[in-house]
Amino acid sequence: MALLAALAASFVGGVAAWDPSLYTSSPAVLPSPNTTGIGWEEAFAKAKDFLAELTLEEKTALVTGTTGPCAGNIIGIERLNFTGLCLQDGPLAIRQATYASVFPAGVNAGASFDRELLYKRGLYIGEEFKGKGSEIMLGPVAGPLGRTPWGGRNWEGFGADPYLSGIANAETVRGIQDAGVQATTKHYIGNEQETQRNPSTADDGTTIESVSTNIDDRTMHELYVFPFADAVRAGSASIMCSYNRLNGSYGCQNSKMLNGVLKEELGFQGYVMSDWGAVHSGVATIESGLDMNMPGGIGFTNSTPSFWGANATAAVTNGTIPESRIDDMVLRIMTPYFHLGQDKSFPLVDKSSADINGVAKSNFGYDFELGPIVDVRTEEHTQFIREAAANSTVLVKNTGSLPLKKPKNIAVFGNDAGDFVAGLYSLTAGFSADTVEQGTLASGGGSGTGRFSYLVTPLEAIKAKAKEDGALVQFILDNEVITTDGIDTIIPTEDTMDTIVPPADVCLVFIKSWATEGYDRATLEPQHNGTGVVNTVAAACNNTIVIHNGAGPVILPFASHPNVTAILLSHFPGQESGNSLVDVLYGAVNPSGHLPYTIPKSEDVASPRIVNSTALVETTDPNAWQDPFTEGLFIDYRYYALQNNSAVAYPFGFGLSYTSFALADLAVSALVSNASALPDASAPIVPGGNKDLWTPLYTATASVTNTGDVAGAAVPQLYVNLAAAGAPAGTPAWQLRGFDRVDLAPGETKTVEFELLRRDLSFWDVEAQQWRLPSGTIDVQVGFQYGKAEVTGSLA
Ligand code: BGC
């Protein structure tokens, strides 16, 4: 087998040598498998009855988007009491609506390592979608996974590990769907950079195709498909295919990935939805497994031709596409709709969505009833947002200055502390957080942002807290002023007016890193000279606490400065930002966030970069943009481990607490004796794949003790070594395969249990085209961060 030969070929530093010829084409897998409604049987029967009533035109309209009040719209069919479908972004809020909550971003939720938090976040966001009349949420995000720290959209997802991302996506999907809303896990697959995600036009008029993400079969399964499998297993109604090409063919017409891997291998019963404008052909996309075209265009002509709609009708009537394929698309779309009871009294689409989308009712070209503007925010949601952001805050340094002990004189520095001066909505015309310096980052940008109803800034919340304590709060928010006037701004001298007097007990420095859909991060360093701001303040203030908002990983060059006494990473915390932060600063919440990625020491030593170069930008070769994932499985902590972690500033899974924890008594029990190397071939394919892949083979337990004197939450993590157990070359030494978050009172001990599933202990055998358990004994480590075992054992 060609792929196996390539993997067996040779290895450089543990990574398979790369033969580009093997990955620039993708085999055809046809025809598209039909859904049988596994797990959704009752709804499937209803969908069949519904289908039986439809004309061909109605069927093709049902699979093709059209103009309407939402980000994506499927037209209703009045005669059948079907009011259509309203699709809205996105992963952290219902974006195109007023009076809705903005939740902490995916990266925050991932940093919590907290299943309950992940589930509730999904549930509450789902409730707001339902309240606003949106049947389909465009989230959560399993791709990008975070292969490169420069990726513009990594923060929408949960972290750079497939196991963490898998659990996080599954919990989020369950939450959203328990609220009665369909989840769309996106972007499938390999959408790891924004640069050239869509085709462009060269100066000579040539269409330059999207970047081709070229991934070998094993890496595809073990890293990038892995979290999608969890989402499918959790019942994700929809999967959104991505803009990029994948091994040479567009993500939304890659039949190997859609028909082959998603529908056959993973037994996906829902529908594949295109990303917006990611459809570049008609018949080929339908045959390749795409089921819904967004934003579509149901007529023959449209300002952006959809290739579907009336064209799809013509393709059936002229015999190119069998009508049974369109029928399957309809069944895939309507089954989750009935399963979630969306046919029963679902709220009308909120009028604010239409207003924000700038679509007047008369422009729809069809009758669409809108509902009143409703406020979907609740006390429960607000409280959750505050707690979730606090709990997901990652404390990476603390020499004892935190929690604060009622300081009387507080100085606040930096452009991330106050209100965002260009408006709270990141997609507003003219907005760019790269150029607009002033204001705190509580969300990233693009379709995954939120429309804030309000935002509590750090400065505002610190002032409110200080007032209770009768403390002074002085601030300088202009980075330029701080770094230009330098030390004089902080220590009073005779010749300066810009002073903080008397010297503060604590200097809180707020720095930030913007990230957005549409382009990748230009730097991993804090923006707007954040490092200069920290160094300037720290030179004068021996109790400097740094708070970073925004995308991670971020380089922290000042981390070892003796006057920098604490560093907190709050990522994109959502609307309660300042309150959540104050809760952590003053110890009302003991931080328990852990890094869902690795922080390298500098940009030079960071794991793979995005593909970009002047030559590519100026190319006239349509096929020039190629991104070979030559590192295979070695991304993030797996990558740094290849150099003995010499590049690591803060490891994956790391996060401090105001208390300390100890782990002991690792015990393992086998649940299946003599497990076969391959899953039971006779087991049915259910959503998620061969059912036997999800069989628990072992449980591991350990006891965790709070050894300090305040309450806190520990995050024990279990890593397995498949490489030493005989998995083929190219296997990273330690990989995350279990985690838990446990609340512990001082002195308290609890037992944590990790369930180890067959899939999680197997590698993808490219020759057998199956998950295979390594033949030897698998060693396990449990600790509080990657690479530091507190207890060890083996699965025997
Ligand atoms: C993004 C999707 C989003 C869609 C609709 C696209 O540009 O990639 O994530 O759901 O727009 O707004």
- Per-domain residue ranges for the chain? 44-371, 393-590, 659-795
Q: Which of 241, 276, 259, 242 is nearest to 325 (CA)?
A: 259
Q: In terms of residues, how long is the chain?
A: 796
Tokens of 220: 């595809």
Q: What separation in Å is there between the alpha carbon of 438 and the centre of ligand 1?
A: 27
Q: Which of 239, 272, 276 to mutate to test the pocket of ligand 1 (most atoms within 8 A of CB)?
A: 276
Residue-wise pLDDT for 19-77, tens only, equals: 666 666 789 999 999 999 999 999 999 999 999 999 999 999 999 999 889 999 999 99
pLDDT at residue 369, rounded to an integer: 83
Give the C-alpha separation, 149 to 152, whole Å: 8
- Count of alpha carbons within 13 Å of 300, Cβ hemisphere only? 2
CA atoms of 159 and 169, how far apart (whole Å): 11
Predicted local confidence at residue 25, as pLDDT: 78
| Residue located nearest, by CA, to atom 8 of ligand 1 | 275
Closest C-alpha to ligand 1, atom 3? 447
- Among 221, 107, 127, 126, CA closest to 173: 126
Work out the end-to-end distance of the chain between its first and last CA atoms, rounded to an integer number of angstroms: 33
32 Cα–ligand 1 center, Å: 25
Q: State the catalytic residues.
A: 275
Residue 405: phi and psi, rounded to 5, are -110, 75
Instruction: Report CA dihedral (438, 507, 568, 185) to the nearest 10 degrees.
Output: -20
Query: In terms of CATH, what superfamily is 44-371?
Result: Glycoside hydrolase, family 3, N-terminal domain (3.20.20.300)
- Phi then psi for 389, rounded to 5 degrees? -65, -40
Task: Give the Cβ contact number of residue 673 at 10 Å.
Answer: 6
> CA 7, CA 221: separation in Å to the nearest integer?
14
Which residues are within 8 A (CB) of 439 and not within 5 positions of it... i.e. 6 or more apart? Answer: 415, 416, 418, 419, 420, 421, 422, 433, 457
Query: Tokens 């002195």 sit at which residue?
Result: 747
Report the C-alpha gap between 57 and 80 in whole angstroms: 14
Which amino acid, one-letter code, is at 666? L
**What pLDDT does 94 receive?**
97
Structure tokens at 699: 């449980």
User: The tokens of 552 are what?
Assistant: 């991670």
Return the closest-CA partner of residue 101 out of 93, 90, 112: 93
CA of 48 to the centre of ligand 1 (A): 30
CA of 276 to the centre of ligand 1 (A): 6
CB of 749 within 8 A of CB of 703?
yes
Closest atom of ligand 1 to 242 CA is 8
d(CA 186, CA 91): 10
pLDDT beneath 50: ranges in the chain: 1-10, 362-363, 429, 494-497
Cα–chain-centroid distance for residue 771? 25
The predicted-structure confidence for 368-392, as pLDDT tens digits, reads as follows 789 999 999 999 999 999 999 999 9
**CA atoms of 629 and 217, how far apart (whole Å):** 11
For the stretch 464-503, what's the b/e string if a residue is b when 16 or more beta carbons lie within 10 angstroms of its beta carbon?
ebbeeeebbbbbbbbbeebbebbebbbbeeeeeeebbeeb
- The packing angle between helices 379-391 and 115-131, to 10°, is 150
Which residue, judged by its Cα, is nearest atom 9 of ligand 1? 447
Q: Under CATH, which number does the domain 659-795 receive?
A: 2.60.40.10
CB-CB contact of 199 with 186 (8 Å): no
Query: Of 154, 120, 134, whose CA–CA distance to 90 is shortest?
Result: 134
Rounded to 5°, the CA angle 327-333-334 comes to 85
* Dihedral Cα 386, 392, 394, 395, nearest 10 deg: 60
Residue identified by tokens 């209100």 is 419
> What would the two tokens of residue 710 be?
């305040």
Closest atom of ligand 1 to 243 CA is 8
- Closest by Cα among 455, 454, 448 to 426: 448
d(CA 552, CA 230): 24
Candidate from 73, 129, 517, 519 with most ligand 1 atoms within 8 A of CB, to mutate = 517
Which residue's alpha carbon is nearest to atom 12 within ligand 1? 447
- Name 82's bridge partners: 77
How far away, in angstroms, is 532 Cα from ligand 1 center?
36
Query: DSSP of 268-283, one letter per residue?
Result: --SEEEE-TT----SH
Give the alpha-carbon dihedral of 34, 326, 184, 334, to 10 degrees.
Answer: -90
> How close is the Cα of 231 to the center of ligand 1, in Å?
19
Distance of CA 515 to the CA centre of its chain: 13
Between the CA of 89 and the centroid of ligand 1 the distance, in Å, is 7
Element (H, E) at 3: helix 2-9
Per-residue pLDDT, 15: 62
Does residue 90 have a cis peptide bond before it, meaning omega lies within 30 degrees of 0?
yes
Task: Assign 174 to helix, strand or coil.
Answer: helix
**Residue among 447, 451, 517 to mutate when testing ligand 1 (max atoms within 8 A of CB):** 447
Cα–Cα distance between 251 and 188 in angstroms, integer?
Answer: 7
Nearest-CA residue for atom 11 of ligand 1: 276
Here the tokens at position 600 are: 């390298």
Q: Which residues of 731-760 are buried (b: 16+ CB within 10 A; e: fewer)?
A: bbbbbbbbbbbbebeeeeebebebebbbbb
Distances in whole angstroms, Cα of residue 71 to Cα of each of 4, 65, 141, 204, 332? 43, 10, 17, 33, 21
Pocket, ligand 1, Cβ cutoff 6 A: 71, 89-90, 138, 186, 275-276, 447
In the structure encoding, which two tokens stand for residue 398, read together? 């603390």
d(CA 125, CA 201): 38
Residue nearest to atom 4 of ligand 1 (CA): 276
> Which ligand 1 atom is at minimum distance from the Cα of 139?
10
- β-bridge pairing 212-214 and 626-628: parallel
CA distances for 496 relative to 252, 504, 538, 716, angstroms: 61, 17, 19, 51
Residues 604, 526: Cα–Cα separation, whole Å = 15
Report in angstroms the alpha-carbon separations of 716 from 159, 591, 594, 662, 719.
Answer: 17, 15, 10, 10, 10
What gap in Å lies between CA 512 and CA 642, rounded to an integer? 30
Class of domain 393-590: alpha beta
CA separation for the pair 767, 744 (Å, rounded): 47
Let me know: does 652 contact 607? Beta carbons within 8 Å: no
Is residue 704 helix, strand or coil?
strand
Give the Cα separation of 735 and 166 in Å (integer): 14
Q: What is the CA radius of gyration of the chain?
A: 26
Measured from the Cα of 197, ligand 1's closest atom is: 8
